[in-house]
Amino acid sequence: MKMRNPPVNSLSLEFLTELLISLEKLESDKAFHAIILTSDCPGIFSAGLDLMEMCGRDPTHYAEYWKAVQELWLRFYLSHLVVISAINGVNAAGGCLLALSCDYRVLADNPKYAMGLNETLLGIIAPFWFKDTLVNTVGHRTAERALQLGLLFPPAEALQVGMVDKVVPEDQVLSAARSELAQWLAIPGHARQLTKSLMRKPTADRLLKERDADIQNFVRFISRDAIQKALRVYLEKLKQKKT
Ligand SMILES: CC/C=C\CC/C=C/CC(=O)SCCNC(=O)CCNC(=O)[C@H](O)C(C)(C)COP(=O)(O)OP(=O)(O)OC[C@H]1O[C@@H](n2cnc3c(N)ncnc32)[C@H](O)[C@@H]1OP(=O)(O)O
């Protein structure tokens, strides 16, 4: 599955919906057993959630958007398919969450390709299920430091803390993901799927139990004047970077 939403694969509502439909199609076709998730945007895996969806819109839109974000995470996190990410670019916040929801991560060895949950740098907060997904991957202490500081880890560090499983030269990201896949596909499917569910269901259930409250919390938080201002300032900084 190659993500293509130029220029930065930001996860807009439309793009989230496309990803969701693609995933559902693959999951419902018995011929498919696995996905390699990668990017078609040079140098960028994903810039995360689309800031334009969270800025200057009305509460109904925020609620619709957040429901789609939740849905995509739940579907990827609990997918019965083997999902491996071949991370071939910088990967921030919501994009990093997507990669963390995969079963295995291969990252291209380019110092520019940092990844992490950098929400605090924007003046916003990673929701509890982003946090849980990170904790499940790198452990509590590393997650605590990474989340508070909004750290984006370059490849060597991402490997060291366990945010990714393998770092390979850039031209080998896909072939490395394919080689890894062979090992996962050699395991009896039902045993692997049930084990995945055993490991992940408690984390997913936390959100499933509180889904509506989580949407309301997001809408309240993102609608605050101070948060809207912080997002506008961040977007402006991104634009000024060019001049
Ligand atoms: C209670 C819970 C409350 C809240 C939780 C909300 C959770 C949010 C999680 C998120 O995912 S927030 C998004 C975090 N993402 C980032 O911080 C990444 C921001 N982007 C960048 O750092 C850079 O764009 C890049 C390193 C990814 C790529 O750099 P470069 O190749 O130099 O491209 P540009 O910076 O020039 O960007 C091109 C173009 O795209 C726009 N853009 C970038 N990121 C986003 C984004 N996330 N959403 C919307 N638009 C984005 C950027 O402004 C440029 O637009 P132009 O109109 O100037 O072309």
| CATH code for the domain of 75 | 3.90.226.10
Annotated catalytic sites, by residue? 49, 94, 118-119
Which tens digit of pLDDT belongs to each residue from 35-79? Answer: 999 999 999 999 999 999 999 999 999 999 999 999 999 999 999
Confidence of residue 173 (pLDDT cuts 50, 70, 90): very high
Is it the case that residue 201 has pLDDT exceeding 90? yes
What is the pLDDT at residue 155? 98
- Rounded distance between C-alpha atoms, residue 38 and residue 106, angstroms: 10
Ligand 1 in contact with 92 (CB < 6 A)? yes
For the stretch 158-170, pLDDT in tens is: 999 999 999 999 9
Among the listed residues 207, 234, 228, 230, the one whose alpha carbon sits nearest the alpha carbon of residue 59: 228
pLDDT averaged over every residue in the chain: 97
Q: Kindly state if the Cβ of 243 falls inside 6 Å of ligand 1.
A: no
Q: Report yes or no: 100 and 72 within 8 Å, Cβ to Cβ.
A: no
- Could you write out the DSSP letters of every residue in 175-217? HHHHHHHHHHHTS-HHHHHHHHHHHHHHHHHHHHHTHHHHHHH
pLDDT score at 241: 78
Q: Which atom of ligand 1 is nearest to the CA of 43?
A: 31
Locate the ligand 1 atom nearest the alpha carbon of residue 242 and give its number.
36
pLDDT of residue 243: 65
The reply to whether ipTM tops 0.90 is yes
- What is the residue with the minimal CA distance to atom 44 of ligand 1? 47
138 Cα: distance to centroid of ligand 1 (angstroms): 24
**193 pLDDT higher than 80:** yes
Distance 48 CA to ligand 1 centre (A): 7
Domain count across the chain? 1
Range of the domain at 114: 2-242
Contacts of 225 (CB under 8 A, 6+ apart): none
Long-range pairs, 130-134, Cβ under 8 A, ≥24: 130/97, 132/203, 132/206, 133/73, 133/77, 133/97, 133/100, 133/101, 133/203, 134/100
Q: How confident is the model at residue 129 (pLDDT cuts 50, 70, 90)?
A: very high
Question: Which one of 3, 5, 8 would you pick to mutate in the ligand 1 pocket, going by the greatest count of ligand atoms within 8 A of its CB?
Answer: 8
- DSSP for 105-121, written as a single string: EEEE--TT--EE--GGG
pLDDT > 70? residue 105: yes
If you measure from the C-alpha of residue 47 to the centroid of ligand 1, how many angstroms do you get, rounded to a whole number? 5
CA-nearest residue for atom 55, ligand 1, is: 239
